[in-house]
Chains A and B, each alone.
Chain A
Amino acid sequence: MGHHGIAVVTKAYGPLRIGGLIVIAALMFFPFYAVLVGSITPPTKLLSAAATLPHEVSWDNYKRVLLASPYPGYFAHSLIVAVVTTATSLVLSTFGGYALARLDFPGRDALSNAILLVYIMPSILLVVPLFTIITGLHLINTLMSVILAYLSFSLPFCLWMMRGFFASLSPSLEDAAQVDGATRVQAMLRVMFPLAAPGMVATAMFSFILAWNEYLFALIFLNSDVVRTIPIGVTATFVSEAMGLADWSALMAASVLSALPVFLLFMGLQRFLIQGIAAGAVKG
């Protein structure tokens, strides 16, 4: 009845809807296009109207960034910081998340809520006191300074994620193991932790992306090329004050190189997106 009428209308709107989606998708993609074209255009051609379309493909910008700039060092620092932050958070949060999801103890729910509140508190709020503390500990210009600072968002994030993953596992598996004579701790280590492995992988990847992309703490704690991570290193090397005189061609190549690792991780993460969001923790 009315159903058919709607179907006809839907059909008529179909091409319009898909056309609209394609236009919007093209607009969303445009900044990527601009960066990719910029990164393969030789510097001499870049600052001319010719750069709208890629006339000639040149890898010189990439070569310059990788071979003749401090970029490889920045990459190594970012890798160390992101891996150490993530590994520390993941280990602590696997135990902590299990406790929050699986063990009954007084104050558990209040504690879960408090951890969520800690997680959504702004970094800008912690930057001022952490700066004074890090300075007092003589940790300015060390990778340890940003690793400590990143734990301030990475650990609460991982705790909340792992809590969600453990809560989504069926308790009967654990109970069965205990009926078979395992202690609670054995059931946790041998049954629950392996079952939560996909959750650990997803949590680690998100945590890695957060640490890899972080800018504010790094800006304040790292002032030397010996320790700079990618976001501030690239900015310090290829951009002068206030975006005035930027080495655009190198900057675009460095941007592609910097985004690539997190893009690849993110692709592997697609199927965890909804789950992570349901856990309430995944930050966009």
Chain B
Amino acid sequence: MGKAHGRTWREPSPRLLGFLLLLPSLVVIALINLYPLTYTIVLSFLNKDLLRPSNVRFIGLANYVSLFRSADFLTGLRHSVSITGWSVAIQVVAAFGLALMLRKPFRGRDLIRGIFILPWPVPSFVAAFAWVWMLDYNFGIVNNLVHAAGLARYPFLGTPQSAYVTVILADVWKHLPWTLVVMLAGLSMVSEELIEAIRVDGGGFWAEIWHAIVPSMKPVIALVVVLRIIWTFNFFDLIYLMTGGGPGQATLILPIAIYSAAFRAYRISIAATMGMVMLIGLGALAIVYLRLQRWDITA
């Protein structure tokens, strides 16, 4: 190995080189991610309240206990779980169905797929305003069409029930592209021989799906479900901008509850504690994700 010409310094070992190359990234992650994370943990054991800055002290698990009596937290948690559940379920079923429909080539398939993927890069604030505008009670295009059809205008974001459904649909619209692209990638890995074998056995359309496609795609579907749950649970801006959590508290999700606790009520420690509860729940899912990650979907 000493044959190299023009080498003026000793070649570092892979171990040292790896450390040196990663060091800048690790320093930044330590400062921007890990230090704040540690700080959140600390805050959750204090009673830091920006309106009473002089009285900060350690109060043990009192914040955690108080969460279970906090209406905002319980409502936020309930809505986050149910909105995430509905949104992810609809996305996964719809993306799976659409992927099947897009599997065989036809004229215009690229165009159709392109339209399905269109919402992906849209900034959340644009998505939120597009939906609010489109569904506006008096002037929105949808209600104009409803009105033109001779029906009564519908308050899509005006009642607790309708707003709850509408934010779920908007969330599905925004994230269906990602889910669909992953499903299409997964579907393209399903072996044609397996599908062929089921056909030769006289299996119909549903047999193909249940005995060939679903079993082969299980890892991909599991990956999609876990990642989408994590990301949907964390997703703040679309619902915040569409409803602010209302009407009343109909669409108050946990991230909005955390935001309000910290930046409306200035109860920093309570907000940090809600964040910690979220972190623990999602951390468990993230570990599941790491296990799934080993199934390489391009293999």
- What is A's interface to B at a CB cutoff of 8 Å? 1-3, 6, 9-10, 14, 17-18, 20-22, 24-25, 28-35, 37-38, 46-49, 51-52, 92-93, 95-96, 98-100, 103-106, 108, 111, 113, 115-118, 120-133, 148-149, 151-152, 155-156, 159, 181-185, 209, 212-213, 215-216, 220, 230-231, 234-235, 239, 242-243, 246, 248, 251-252, 255, 258-259, 262-263, 265-266, 270, 273-275, 277-278, 280, 282-284
Contact = CB atoms under 8 A, between A and B. Distances in A.
A103 B242 CA distance: 47
Contacts of B130: 31-32, 34-35, 255
Contacts, number: 302
A120 B112 contact: no
Interface in B115-134: 115-127, 129-134
B112 A284 contact: no
A125 B39 contact: no
Given A17-B101, A35-B129, A124-B234, 18 more contacts: A1-B200, A28-B116, A34-B140, A47-B138, A95-B25, A103-B21, A105-B18, A116-B290, A122-B255, A122-B279, A128-B43, A183-B4, A212-B123, A215-B125, A231-B237, A263-B121, A277-B297, A283-B231
Chain B interface size, as a band, is 35 or more
Contacts of A273: 117, 181
Nearest to B226: A120
Contact of B118 (A28, A99, A120, A243): A28
Contacts of A216: 236-237, 259
B214 interface: no
Contacts of A284: 120, 175, 177-179, 181, 231
A54 to B, nearest CB: 11
Interface string B31-54: 011111101100100000000000
B2 to A, nearest CB: 10
B19 A105 contact: yes
Given A6-B204, A122-B282, A274-B185, A46 B255 contact: no
Nearest to B40: A129
Among all A-B residue pairs, the 5 with the closest Cβ atoms? A284-B178, A129-B36, A122-B234, A96-B25, A103-B18
B250 interface: no
B106 A14 contact: yes
B263 A125 contact: no
B134 A30 contact: yes
A113 to B, nearest CB: 5
B54 to A, nearest CB: 16
